[in-house]
């Protein structure tokens, strides 16, 4: 039985992709996950604010990251690790003595819909807040971080 040339090319292409996927697993970046100890959390304005922040923000913006299974599989591990590293540098609710560059943007970014990011909400449906919860979280973050201006 003769294999059609198109099918042969598709099979070779798939073989190359499988080989490439296997090779990139050897790159260790993104699979050395850490959750450093919690130093100091901010003085939360209410338990509700902390509850909503835990639900929608802590996976990236704290040292309480729950690393999903795909965080051990390149190239997804690279993306997840970079996102968490960047988020912790910006605002880290577990290390409030070194709070990052933009804590006063926390509330406004929730109102604008920038946070949590769409790709995070797609993978974590529990982070999808109702409109009421979004307002509660934004106001609570505003009160907690002591930002200037009004929400």
Q: What's the CA gap between 107 and 109, in Å, rounded?
A: 5
Instruction: Express each pLDDT in 24-59 by its tens digit.
Output: 777 777 667 778 888 899 999 999 999 999 999 999
Q: What's the CA gap between 136 and 119, in Å, rounded?
A: 22
8 A C-beta contact, residue 83 and residue 60: yes
Q: Flag whether the pTM goes above 0.95.
A: no
pLDDT at 99 over 80: no
Position 15 in a domain: no
Position 96 in a domain: yes
Number of structural domains (the chain) is: 1
Position 11 in a domain: no
Position 17 in a domain: no
Planar angle of CA 137, 45, 66, nearest 5 degrees: 55
pLDDT at 122 over 50: yes
Domain coverage including residue 104 = 29-145
Length of the chain: 151
For the chain, the C-alpha Rg in angstroms (whole number) is 20
Position 38 in a domain: yes
Position 13 in a domain: no
Q: What's the CA gap between 40 and 115, in Å, rounded?
A: 22
Position 151 in a domain: no
pLDDT at 146 over 90: no
142 to 63, 87, 89, 127: CA distances (angstroms): 21, 18, 19, 19
Q: Which residues touch 54 (CB under 8 Å, ≥6 apart)?
A: 62, 64
């Amino acid at each position: 039985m003769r294999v059609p040339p198109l099918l042969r090319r598709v099979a070779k292409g798939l073989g190359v992709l499988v080989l490439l996927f296997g090779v990139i697993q050897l790159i260790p970046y993104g699979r050395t996950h850490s959750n450093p100890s919690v130093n100091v959390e901010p003085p939360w304005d209410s338990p509700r604010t902390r509850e909503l922040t835990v639900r929608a923000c802590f996976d990236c913006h704290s040292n309480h990251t729950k690393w999903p299974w795909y965080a051990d599989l390149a190239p997804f591990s690279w993306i997840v690790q970079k996102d968490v590293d960047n988020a912790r540098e910006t605002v880290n609710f577990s290390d409030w003595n070194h709070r990052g560059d933009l804590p006063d943007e926390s509330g406004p970014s929730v109102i604008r819909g920038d946070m949590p990011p769409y790709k995070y909400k797609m993978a974590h449906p529990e982070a999808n807040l109702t409109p009421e919860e979004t307002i509660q979280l934004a106001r609570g973050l505003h009160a907690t971080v002591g930002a200037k201006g009004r929400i």
